[in-house]
Structure 1
């Protein structure tokens, strides 16, 4: 009836409401519009028994339609626009929809609450999503042979199991890793749902310089415990070896986790993050440019040429780079093979690809990632097939 009132631009009042009966009247003082409805026996639905459709109310009496535009009603109207393909229209888009399609202005707060309800009804309730996660992961592992799935919970004082950590790597990623260069880029991005948390990612680069996702984790935050747990599960996909290289930002928790779980692997810093640190900490002109040139130099002599220029401009910056360790940020001093991967841009691009799903319930998040990867890999296989290269 609220949808009917919004469409026909009038306001009604509930004059009688009983468990099995309801009567609605138009808000106009001399209007004849009436609806009488009664509950159908043995059914939760109501049936309209009598209706007087003629309106005699004035334009002024038909105002204040927003009373019928409740958050529940708007959420029901918008639910079809929310699915696994993304987070759907944002609150401002909901306001625009109500204003343009129904001539009803609503506040941002009401649009936000309606957006939350539409998300719950379109993608599932957040709490229910966590309860459904174990059975979903079981089906995921069955339908994707070779996948690595791990779920860890904690027990509360009331003996209730609560979600703690999640790791998943699809079978296609596990199998495809053996054909990649052993350079792994890891990074984390914040989730924006009701319970927040962080999405951790590990990815590499295929022969066509495209993102090749390896594993994903959902944890409470970027701390030493969560990164250590993530790397312990990543071992099932990427074995620890002397030819494995990790490229990360300079987060202490990542360093600690790698030292524990990947003692053989090499570890180097993202040049872009180092560049940003230099810009923030040292304000001298051309300094960050020289740091980038030194980091990317192939020969040791070229490295020291740029590094001596850095020392002449700002000795404090040179001391900072020495403390970081030449072998950690410069290509010429690095003991492993990092190839062309000097930054963590691959991980940043992967984070951007899943940005739409960062505020959806956890099952919808995993399903979004699965759908995205299952869309990428067939397209790449087809493109490789056209070149005559075996896949």
Structure 2
């Protein structure tokens, strides 16, 4: 039975589950990659006169997203596998410089990605490792660095770490790599100095 065969709006709404909605709007989603969940909701309402819930349209949007660009779960597994192979590249073709950074992932999982990036001989960025965690703090940085220590210390030169002074990162590096060099981004230091100068002028 098709959804258009039912007269009552309540009956139509019951049939408008996430998989059905995804099948109906998949072509639209593929042609307009910028589509959001509310676009899915509007398309179903316009075509069938059914007010689908936000929860259903979000699930349908997620289904279309994974059909188009691949599964989030598979993507995480691939990224983790690639970082293991990066160790050999870091040891054989990169400078002993490791940039540490953290960013929030706002998609399905809402987790934090901690990254370790180096420079190759042509000054190109070379990803060494990524670590997914619930929050960016001293404990998660310490765990990430401890996991990487046996590998990155195989580099023939003394390591130098560089960062923007993320939460708990300075202490974690000092504990796990007590003899390594540690540098800060000048841009980050400049912003702090400019902010403090402005604060003092206001007093």
**TM more than 0.5:** yes
Instruction: Specify the alignment match of 2:57 in structure 1.
Output: 111
> Aligned in 2, Cα 1:250/1:76: closer, same or farther, shift over 3 Å?
same
Say which of 160, 164, 168 aligns to 1:249. 164
Q: Check the 8 A contact 1:204/1:211 in 2, yes or no.
A: yes
Aligned length: 192
Instruction: Specify the alignment match of 2:117 in structure 1.
Output: 203
Contiguous gaps of at least 5 residues in structure 1: 6-10, 14-26, 29-62, 141-147, 150-167, 285-313, 316-391
How far residue 184 of structure 1 moved from its aligned partner, in angstroms, is: 0.7
Deviations 1:57-95 (A, max 9, x none): xxxxxx99974544342134457999xxxx984324535
Residues 1-391 of structure 1: pairs in structure 2 closer than 5 A: 1-2=1-2, 5=3, 11-13=4-6, 27=7, 67=13, 69-77=16-24, 89-95=35-41, 98=44, 102=47, 109=54, 110-118=56-64, 129=73, 169-171=83-85, 173-178=86-91, 179-239=93-153, 243-283=158-198
Q: Check the 8 A contact 1:202/1:215 in 2, yes or no.
A: yes
Larger relative contact order (C-alpha < 8 A, sep ≥ 6)?
2
When normalised by structure 2's length, the TM-score is 0.70
When normalised by structure 1's length, the TM-score is 0.40
How far residue 238 of structure 1 moved from its aligned partner, in angstroms, is: 1.1
Which has the greater radius of gyration?
Answer: 1
The structure with the greater share of residues assigned to helix is 2
- The 2-side partners of 1:269 and 1:196 are apart by 28
- The 2-side partners of 1:238 and 1:212 are apart by 13
RMSD: 4.1
Instruction: Specify the alignment match of 1:37 in structure 2.
Output: none
Deviations 1:323-371 (A, max 9, x none): xxxxxxxxxxxxxxxxxxxxxxxxxxxxxxxxxxxxxxxxxxxxxxxxx
> Aligned in 2, Cα 1:81/1:181: closer, same or farther, shift over 3 Å?
farther
- The 2-side partners of 1:79 and 1:229 are apart by 41
